[in-house]
Amino acid sequence: MFQSLIIFLLQCDSNPDLIISENQCIDLNCQENINNFLIKITARMQPYDNQNFEEISDTENYLGVHFNATNEYDSEYDILESPNGPGNWVSLYFPHDDWGHPLGDKFTKDVKSNVFLDMNNKVAEWTFIVESNIYGTVDLSFQTIDEYCYDCIKSIQLFSEDGDYFTADMNMDNISISRFLQQNQLLSFNLIIEFN
């Protein structure tokens, strides 16, 4: 399996003396936050691939890890997807029927526990789905919101349900994907981040 080494800069505090060699923090706050991160995923679509229609988008989708989060539902970190409005729409969400939330199983934000606390399993995995009530080409882009730990990500792999395989380059912000989406089709993706 092809893997890319991803290197990012970490900024724990404004005080650079809190980071020592080997990417270790000596400050307790830094230690708790060193491996937290948040990535935004945006889905944009030109309805019917026709420029005469206004572009539609779903721009508030987040995945990440946090020191205080769990892999179950956390009201502080995991947020339900809002219902689709009238007219044309595209929706990106993280499905979690396993959480048994009384208001639904589609989430716009999925934050997992800090994988660095488990020395045996250094992999975080998210499944997300894109759907729309119309057809057209959907464009997905990724944007880093919170800091990454320095040299902590070993590889990023993205699989789609049709078997296509994508690998990130040196910057998560450079990942962009385009896929044709049929009306009411559920297009599933699996994102796997492996850590050093």
Cβ-defined contacts of 85-90 (< 8 Å, 24+): 88/47, 88/53, 88/54, 88/56, 88/132, 88/133, 88/134, 89/56, 89/58, 89/132, 89/133, 90/43, 90/44, 90/45, 90/56, 90/57, 90/58, 90/130, 90/131, 90/132, 90/138, 90/181
Q: Domain coordinates of the chain in residue numbers?
A: 16-195
User: Which pLDDT band holds residue 86 (cuts at 50, 70, 90)?
Assistant: very high
Q: What is the pLDDT of residue 167?
A: 64
For 31-66, write each residue's pLDDT tens digit.
455 568 889 999 999 999 999 999 999 999 999 988
Stretch 157-175: mean pLDDT: 71
- The Cα 73–Cα 167 span in angstroms is 28
**Full-model pTM:** 0.80
